[in-house]
A and B are shown apart, each in its own frame.
Chain A
Amino acid sequence: MSYQQETTQRKAMWAGVNVLVLLYAFIPVIWIVSLSFKDAGTLNDGNFLPRSPSAESYQQIFTDYEFIRALINSIGICVISTFIALVFGTMAAYAIARLDFPGKKTIVAVSLLIAMFPQIALVTPLFQIQTAIGTFDTWLGLIIPYVTFALPLAIYTLSAFFREIPWELEKAAKMDGATPYQAFRKVITPLAMPGVFTTAILVFIACWNDFLFAISFTTTSASRTVPAALSYFTGATTYERPTAAIAAAAVIITIPIVIFVLFFQRRIVAGLTSGAVKG
């Protein structure tokens, strides 16, 4: 067998394997998309692909006040939580990566502990506390636990990134006459930004994904996020099974995250692996 033939064969083999991976990743996604495009008549035909695609379900959910409200809640709550977790996390991660101070190991250990915490263990006490102080069923009531659980992730990922930055550059810039602020702003910040940005995506995905807190600490559309709203969906009339509407809503909340992930794939891989393995 010639070398040429062998490489062609190996290529064909890998192509086959790759197709399997693609099918694995995409089949459930294509299925829910196809379900969202089925019209009422063909919804229950059991076909994988819609016979007569229609955007009916999308029209339905975008005229549904509950869904739009939930979408706004999700975006607002997740953006605010991500921002706060990022600010606190960056401060702590910088200190952990760069400064020498007592209790550093304890902080790292505690955040690891929280990352592995069974979240259900906090639902009862937080439910009690939140009803007592009046944050139950408000944005704040979700932002607080989201920030807490996002912090370990942020601290781990960011301190892994910060350790990779060549900090001598800062000194060099100061030697060249830059003020400490300039050195930090012009030299360190641009190097740190990709790490911060990656962490922001990871934290945002974690918040966007939450379901347990969202159904435990909300009772009305005032703060219910989309994942929780999905499980309470009733459709246009109460008796109609809102399968297609759920599918459409599911697609809507998936699109932004999938785009994020596909676009920043390299960085996300770096973030996940550095945070988890090197952390």
Chain B
Amino acid sequence: MTTSSAGPAALGADAGTAIAKQRHSEGKRAERRLGLLLCAPAIIVMLAVAAYPLIYAVWLSFFRADLRTPDDQEFIGLGNYITVLSSPIWWNAFGVTMFITVIGTFFQLVLGMLLAIVMHRTIIGRGLVRTSALVPYAIVTVVAAFSWRFAWTQNLGWLAGESAPLTDRWSSLWIIILSEVWKTVPFMALLLMAGLALVPEDLLKAASMDGANAWQRFWRVTVPIIKPAILVALLFRTLDSFRIFDNIFVLTSGANDTASVSILAYNNLIRGLNLGIGSTMSVLIFISIAIIAFIYIKLFGAAAPGAGDDRR
């Protein structure tokens, strides 16, 4: 734009605004270009490592593809899906995953809410409580899982004594849930605490003046206000629980019918080298997660992260 500096004085008023407009839209275009340019590396990496392989997984799921018999690769349509969906092993793993997700998320919500209230309300040592509550978040999941495994190992652990709960299906499942809940309650609590900070004290005081007791204040005042935070936290935790892998791998390796869908897919892939079946399971897990996310977003609409945020 070297000519424009001398421009406006010599030109008519109309031409001047035209140039200003052009300059403005050129500025807009430059901004768009810069925006896309800055996002390009992130987009390329995410597409190359998530989108392309996902499509490839869908493609593989229609083939008989077993690395132990590499010459036998053949298109079998929905064959793998029929195999997986008619297998009791898959449905058992699906049931285990749902059980852990539903029960685990419930306990995370209840304990997370309690912890959030403590962190928000405590009158002494608030810093200490908030800091320590972060410790489980900081512990590597595998390490936490080992800690629980050793604690419940016969003769070795302080919780086990003579019993061996990790050799039994139901006690193993509860220990898996305990381990998952312990680790993730702080995260839940942090999200809820961010919500609690938004509740106006005056409103609580007013409700108290009107004779509402603590329980009523919580249900009638606090919960409606922090509903968006609760929903976001629930969505995050549900999707995360459904993917559970590390804890089960360390605690039971999926023995005694405690395998989650992720463990099952892993066993078929990496241990069994059956890419066709493994891919089919991966796709089914992806679909399940999509359905869960869809239900949440449908039910709670605007509360979902990213939705209705006009600052963007």
What count of chain B residues pass the 8 Å CB interface test?
A: 99
A-B contacts, 5 of them at CB < 8 A, read: A46-B158, A125-B279, A257-B140, A262-B135, A276-B236
Residues in B whose Cβ lies below 8 Å from that of A151: 42, 45-46
List the A residue with the shortest CB-CB distance to B115: A21
| Most chain B C-beta atoms within 10 Å of own C-beta, residue among A101, A121, A247 | A121
Stretch at the interface among B9-17, B124-132, B202-210, B216-224: B124-132
User: Does chain B have a CB within 8 A of A122?
Assistant: yes
Given contacts A129-B53, A247-B146, A253-B140, contact A100 B269 (CB under 8 A): no
Q: Which 3 A-B pairs have the closest CB atoms?
A: A101-B35, A125-B53, A273-B194
Interface residues as binary, A11-49 with B (CB distance below 8 Å gives 1, 0 otherwise)? 100110110011011101101100100000001101110
| Most chain A C-beta atoms within 10 Å of own C-beta, residue among B229, B286, B293, B306 | B306
A272 to chain B: closest CB distance in Å?
5
Tell me which residues from 93 to 148 in chain B have a Cβ below 8 Å from any Cβ of chain A.
115, 118, 121-125, 128-144, 146-148
Contact B118–A105 (Cβ < 8 Å):
no
Stretch at the interface among A167-175, A176-184, A205-213: A205-213
| Cα-based distance from A107 to B47 in the complex (angstroms) | 11
Interface residues as binary, A89-119 with B (CB distance below 8 Å gives 1, 0 otherwise)? 1011011100111111101111110101111
| Cα-based distance from A226 to B229 in the complex (angstroms) | 35
Given contacts A119-B243, A129-B53, contact A211 B269 (CB under 8 A): no
Per a CB cutoff under 8 Å, which of A123, A247, A253 touches B282? A123
Per a CB cutoff under 8 Å, which of B28, B187, B265, B293 touches A272? B187
Contact A120–B49 (Cβ < 8 Å):
no
Contact A18–B283 (Cβ < 8 Å):
no
Residues in B whose Cβ lies below 8 Å from that of A261: 134-135, 137-138
Stretch at the interface among A51-59, A140-148, A190-198: A140-148
Number of A-B pairs, beta carbon distance below 8 Å = 298
| Cα-based distance from A250 to B250 in the complex (angstroms) | 13
Contact B45–A148 (Cβ < 8 Å):
yes
Given contacts A122-B49, A148-B50, A216-B266, contact A231 B43 (CB under 8 A): no
| Most chain A C-beta atoms within 10 Å of own C-beta, residue among B46, B135, B261, B283 | B46
Interface residues as binary, A265-279 with B (CB distance below 8 Å gives 1, 0 otherwise)? 100110011001101
User: Does chain B have a CB within 8 A of A79?
Assistant: no
Interface residues as binary, B159-201 with A (CB distance below 8 Å gives 1, 0 otherwise)? 0110000000000000000000010001100110111000000
Contact A18–B129 (Cβ < 8 Å):
yes
Interface residues as binary, B256-283 with A (CB distance below 8 Å gives 1, 0 otherwise)? 0000011001100110000100110111
Residues in B whose Cβ lies below 8 Å from that of A127: 269-270, 275
What count of chain A residues pass the 8 Å CB interface test?
A: 95
User: Does chain A have a CB within 8 A of B285?
Assistant: yes
Chain B interface secondary structure, helix, strand, loop or mixed? helix
User: Does chain B have a CB within 8 A of A62?
Assistant: no
Stretch at the interface among B18-26, B83-91, B149-157: B149-157
Contact B50–A277 (Cβ < 8 Å):
no
User: Does chain A have a CB within 8 A of B215?
Assistant: no
User: Does chain A have a CB within 8 A of B78?
Assistant: no
A254 to chain B: closest CB distance in Å?
5
User: Does chain A have a CB within 8 A of B74?
Assistant: no
Given contacts A92-B39, A116-B239, A253-B143, contact A21 B132 (CB under 8 A): yes
A residues contacting B by CB (< 8 A) are 10-11, 14-15, 17-18, 21-22, 24-26, 28-29, 31-32, 35, 43-44, 46-48, 87-89, 91-92, 94-96, 99-105, 107-112, 114, 116-129, 144-145, 147-148, 151-152, 155, 163, 205, 208-209, 211-212, 215-216, 226-227, 230-231, 243, 246-247, 250, 253-254, 257-258, 260-262, 265, 268-269, 272-273, 276-277, 279
Residues in A whose Cβ lies below 8 Å from that of B212: none
Residues in B whose Cβ lies below 8 Å from that of A14: 121-124
Contact A29–B147 (Cβ < 8 Å):
yes
Contact A277–B283 (Cβ < 8 Å):
no
List the A residue with the shortest CB-CB distance to B293: A116
Residues in B whose Cβ lies below 8 Å from that of A272: 187, 190-191
| Cα-based distance from A32 to B278 in the complex (angstroms) | 35
Residues in A whose Cβ lies below 8 Å from that of B225: none
Given contacts A96-B39, A205-B138, contact A32 B150 (CB under 8 A): yes
Contact B31–A99 (Cβ < 8 Å):
yes
B246 to chain A: closest CB distance in Å?
4
Contact A123–B270 (Cβ < 8 Å):
yes
| Cα-based distance from A212 to B229 in the complex (angstroms) | 29
